[in-house]
Structure formats: structure tokens, C-alpha cells
A = this chain, B = another copy of it.
């Protein structure tokens, strides 16, 4: 394969199709449960032809995870740099997180559930992107504490991770049950994170 044979429009288009097919198949069957045959069938080519677009099955998983994270981090970056009140920012962040699950973002599911099956080396690449995302979310919390909206004693790191855990949980639910209403879940998540469950005693 010529080194720059990958610069044709068709290559880009098919490559993207391959990543989507891999995301879809990995999301449904898991990395080890899916075969390269499954991915090829899903995009209507033969098993062997897939290797024109991926150097290996593991490389396919890596690409799926990377694209998922990239889209995701970009979105978060936009939100976290906008100047708006905390609640709105948090709403935007949670909404974006959940919406991308509902938008059948299979790649995101694959990243969350399957990335551990990557070699340690490949996982390192993902970590950089992942922690950037986490940091931006954490910055929202920190800002909220400084502005006095959030509890002074809040452990922002813990809150950030908890919110991610919560969103991943409900994100999975949203992909699993199409009857769940995205905006209702989003609202409830925000209320849960901000107010907790206790009766306010004021």
C-alpha cells in the first residue's frame, strides 16, 4: 500500500464507515465477542478487505475510542469556556453528555466499556484526552465553589468523578431503553447533583 494512498476522498469516507461499523459491532457484542467478520459484514465488504482500513482489530478499537473522546472533549471545551452561570454550564455539560449517548453514540459506549482491553500503551494515549475532559468539568465545579454557588467544603474532584459516573450510568440506560425521555433524565440528574435528596431545612 502506497503511503499516501490514504489521501483519496473515498478512503476517508470508507475509513469513517469502518470506524462506525466497528463502533456499532463492539458496542453490541463487546470487543472480544465481535469478529472482524462482523465488522466487515456490517459495512458490506469482505473480512479481508477490512485490513485495508485497519492494521489490526485492536487498532480498530483504538480508533473508535479516540474518535469518541475527541468529539466529546471538543464539545466540553466549548461549554466550559462559555461565560454563563454555573447552573447553565452544568446543565449544558450534563445535557451534552447524555445527548451524545442518546444520539446513539456507540463509540462513547465502546470507549467506556471496552477500552480496558487495549494494550497499556494504547490506553495511555486515551488518558491524556480523558483527563483533559475531566479537568474541564472539574473547573466548572471549582468555579462554582469560588463564586459561592457551590458548597465551600465540596470535594470538586470527587464531585466531578461522581457526575461522570452518574452520567455514564444514565447514558447507558438511555441507549438501552428508547422510551426514556432525554430532557427529563437530564433535569433530574442536575437536580440530584445540585440538591441531593435531603429536605432543605431553611
Listed in ascending order, the chain A residues whose CB lies under 8 Å from chain B are: 29-33, 113, 117, 141, 144, 148-152, 154-155, 158-159, 161-162, 164-166, 168-170, 173, 188-189, 192-202
Contacts and interface: CB of A to CB of B under 8 A. Distances in A.
A154 B188 CA distance: 10
A101 to B, nearest CB: 13
Nearest 9 Cβ contacts at the A-B interface:
A165-B169, A196-B196, A202-B202, A32-B32, A32-B33, A195-B196, A194-B198, A194-B196, A150-B197
Tell me how many chains of this kind the complex includes. 2
Contacts of A148: 199
A144 B150 CA distance: 25
29 contacts: A29-B32, A30-B31, A30-B32, A31-B33, A144-B197, A149-B198, A150-B197, A150-B199, A151-B200, A158-B188, A158-B192, A159-B192, A161-B169, A161-B170, A162-B170, A164-B169, A165-B169, A166-B166, A166-B169, A168-B169, A193-B197, A194-B197, A194-B198, A195-B196, A195-B198, A196-B196, A200-B200, A200-B202, A202-B202
Q: Is the interface of A mostly helix, strand, loop or mixed?
A: helix
A193 B199 CA distance: 12
A60 to B, nearest CB: 15
B193 A141 contact: no
Contacts of A162: 166, 169-170, 189, 192
Contacts of A161: 169-170, 173
